[in-house]
Amino acid sequence: MLCVSIVFTFHFSLITSVHAQKYACVNTDYILKSIPDYANAQKRLDKYVADWRKELQDKQSELDVLRTDYEQESYLLPENLKKRRLDEIKEKEQEIKELQRQRFGADGDLDKKRAELLKPVQDRVYSTIERVAHEKNYAFVFDKAGSATLLFVNKKYDISDEVLELLGYKPGKNDTPPPDEGKTKKNKPMNSEMRQPGGKELRNSGNSLPPLGKINK
């Protein structure tokens, strides 16, 4: 009986402790879109991406010319020249693949520029969210940006405007929901850099921040 009583007391205390914890939510998409520095950084990143895409398209055009010329002339060429021309085509194909990996692959130029231009603003937002969480004694802060599982949030628990004010920016009207709030979001890239030449999507997402507590110091 004593053991049962101890277990029951512990279980009741645990439930009471969980329910006593405070929770809040934040919309990082809404916050970032409200910060001019972030919008300017995104424009600079888009310019880099446009230049890299054109670079790849120019290389692809050179490859297309090599292929077309070979197809039109191959029946006139001796075997040694055929081999040389085919080797040139293969080298150009490899050059394009390597350039695409360098620009848009994992740890490539896109990831590096995103970290250089966007991460400083994201870090400021994170630090401010943590500050609000510590001051208000929130046990958890959920990011509802793009979440498929957060079905409802009471406005009074949304600290997005408070974070913006601490960052020094004027939030929008309280009765105006953040962009796209309440609408079903499709899994599509938000920025031009999220597609490789030819329309293939990259895996890196654009503006979403990683879960709270996983900040790179």
Tokens of 214: 């996983």
Please write the tens of the pLDDT for every residue from 178-188.
444 444 444 44
Closest to 51 (Cα-Cα) out of 97, 106, 113: 113
Q: Provide the pLDDT for residue 20.
A: 56
Report the half-sphere exposure of 171 (CA within 13 A, side-chain side).
20
Domain layout of the chain by residue ranges: 21-194
Please write the tens of the pLDDT for every residue from 134-173.
888 888 888 888 765 554 556 777 888 888 898 888 887 4
Structure pTM? 0.62
**CA of 170: how far to CAs of 21, 132, 165, 166, 179, in Å?**
29, 17, 6, 9, 16
Q: Provide the pLDDT for residue 138.
A: 85
Rounded distance between C-alpha atoms, residue 42 and residue 49, angstroms: 10
